[in-house]
Structure formats: structure tokens, C-alpha cells
Amino acid sequence: MSITPKTIFKAVLHLAAALAVVAIICAGLLLLWSPSSSANDEKIVWGVNFSESQAAYLGLDPATTYSALINELGAKHIKIHVNWNATQKDKHTIDFTSLDRMVTEAEQNDVKLVLVIGMKTGRWPECHTPDWFLQVDEDQREAEIIKYISTLVGRYKSSPAIEYWQVENEPLLQFGTCPDWYYDLGTKMLEAEVAAVRSLDPNRKIIVSDTGELSTWTDVAKIADIVGVTMYRSSWDATEKTFGLNPYTFLTPEFYANKAAYIESVYGTPVIGIELQAEPWASKGLAEASLEEKALSMNPELFKENIQFAREAGLSRYYLWGAEWWLHMKQKHNQPEIWDEAKRTIAE
């Protein structure tokens, strides 16, 4: 990914504007809604996100990394980002090798999975579109996407390891290199995808994710069985030209807790933390950025602070973002502190 100051400054302006709007909207929710006190008394489920492409980028073997999450970290809940361009490089052939292996290993170790399926499934460039899809006629795009996700659901719906399906990743947030038409559709294609998955596997709940900070979550709450939200505590600061400063300082745990209470009360849709920040931002890719820069936005103390912040927000489940990086830091830089702290958290 190429990041320029101009691009970043423009992105931050959009971020600031969006934050202002959401803050105003949510101010009313904070006054009118409060979470149930029992939420903080319940045992939190801690899971992790996993991306084969991210593991490979960081110089790790994806299969070994996945096994380490289960056997060394002790993860019992894993969200797998399934990249379409990796699983269906050819229009007429889907390669199930990696997914079969991961699902089988999960079954053997009593691990519960969320499979993120669709066109936009997380990790840069967010939309993992195979080359052949770029030549598909406009009126056939939705059909091809639904055919693809339906094939995945059909193959794995009998597995006891599959706990939930997640359809797309933050589909309403304009982030990444997704084409304009993807967002121009609004919720039309998303609704069709969810309907297709539900028709094939009516007994499993479907997650749709949304930005925790820049949305009221209402649009996805109308579509999903479960709303999955992000929780980020630090990001790029355009003024200081550095990562690690916190533009979300004014967002308290109650910001998330009260929105969740509102969504669950009005729409009857549970809210979980689908992406809890436990990985740094950097001006370069994480494999290239300096250790000093990365420590500005994620280090053992900030990790603990984010965990405590999540506890106070009171959601019942969180999937930590950055497990591949923790292992990278442990193996490549002899810094196992975050890996070890995550292991303790997950074991609670």
C-alpha cells in the first residue's frame, strides 16, 4: 500500500467529520440508554482474528501460525478472513485446501470459527477480488459473488466448528481499495448475500460488521443476526504526522456500551466486538516499520489498556486484532510480551 501525506490528511478530514456526526447522534443515545449491569458480570469470550495473507506478509508460515494460535496461544474462538482471490483464482475452480485444513484442525481441537466470506473480507486491500472477476459484466457481479459464498456455506455448514458466518467485512465503511460500485449499491447486495446464506444454513446466526467509531450501527442491525463492531483506541494523527496518538480520546467505554444497549433494545440484535485493536498502526507496512514507531500505538501497556477498556464497555465477546503480529514479534524480535499477555487474557 502506498501512503502519502495528502492521502492521509484527506482521510483524517473525513474521519473527523464522521466522528463529529456520530458523536452528535450518539449523544442522545448516551442520555437515554444505559447497558444492563449484568453485562459486566458475565464471563467475556476472547477470540482472535486470523488472516493467512497477513501471516505470510509478516514472514510466518500460515499453517504453522494457525496451529500456534490453537496449541500455544490457547485460542478457542477464531475468526478467519477468507480471501476470495486466494480461494478462487480461476473462475471455475475453488481451492479448498487451506480452509479444509483449518476447519479440520478446529474440529479436532474444539475450536469455534467465524468464517468471513464475500468480496470485502478484511486486511488490506480489504476487497480481495480475483483477477477474472474484473471482467465480469456489471449485471452478473452479484450472482458471481453469491455463487461463491454459497459454495463455501454448502461445503462447511455441516462442520461443528463453524459457529457463525460473517458476510463481508465492514461493508458500509468506505475503506480500502474497493471499487465505487461496491459502495454505490448500499445494502442491496449485502442483503442478497445474507439472504442466500440464511437460506442455505437457517440455523446459524449471521454476523455483519460495522465500524464501531464512525457509525450508529443501525443499518447493519436491520440485516444481521449479530452486529460485530470494531473498537480502536489509536490511529493516524495528521497534525503530528505520526501513528500512536489517540484521536478517539473522547470516546469512553460508555460510548460503545450505550450504543449496544440501544441496538439490542430497539432491533433485538446482539452486539459483539468483532475487531479489538491489539496491533499498531505505522507509516509503512508492519514488516518494514521500525520497532520504535510501532511501539507508539501498540505495546504491552497499551494492550492491557485496550483489554481493560473493552471490559468496561461490557460486550460479551471480543475478537482481538493482531495475533499474527504478536507471533511475529515473539519469533522475529524476541519480544513475546503481548503474545503472553494475550494468552493470559484468553485463558480467563
What single DSSP character describes residue 244?
Answer: S
How many domains does the chain fold into?
A: 1
Instruction: Check residue 39 and give its pLDDT.
Output: 46
Least confident of 33-37, 223-227, 230-234, 322-326: 33-37
Query: pLDDT tens digit string along 58-112?
Result: 999 999 999 999 999 999 999 999 999 999 999 999 999 999 999 999 999 999 9
What single DSSP character describes residue 88?
Answer: -
Alpha-helical regions (H) of 212-336: 218-221, 253-267, 291-297, 300-313, 323-333
User: Which triple of cell numbers denotes residue 96?
Assistant: 479448498
Instruction: Check residue 246 and give its pLDDT.
Output: 62
102 close to 62: Cβ distance less than 8 angstroms:
no
Place of cell 483524517: 12
Question: Who contacts 58 (Cβ-Cβ below 8 Å, separation ≥6)?
Answer: 286, 287, 324, 325, 327, 328, 332
For residue 181, the domain's CATH number is 3.20.20.80
User: Which triple of cell numbers denotes residue 16?
Assistant: 473527523
Percent of the chain with pLDDT over 70: 84
Instruction: Check residue 63 and give its pLDDT.
Output: 98
What is the C-alpha end-to-end distance of the chain, expressed in Å? Answer: 37
What single DSSP character describes residue 44?
Answer: P
Instruction: Check residue 238 and give its pLDDT.
Output: 45
Query: pLDDT tens digit string along 7-17?
Result: 443 444 444 44
Note down the domain range covering 115. 5-346
Residue 145 has pLDDT above 50, yes or no: yes
How far is Cα 116 from Cα 164, in angstroms, rounded to an integer?
9
Mean pLDDT of the chain: 89
Amino acid 198 reads R
How far is Cα 273 from Cα 261, in angstroms, rounded to an integer?
14
Kindly report the backbone phi and psi dihedral angles of residue 120, in degrees, each rounded to the nearest multiple of 5, phi listed first: -110, 110
309 pLDDT tier (thresholds 50, 70, 90)? very high
Place of cell 520504535: 292
**What pTM value is reported for the model?**
0.89
Burial of 268 (0-12, 13-18, 19+ CB in 10 A): exposed
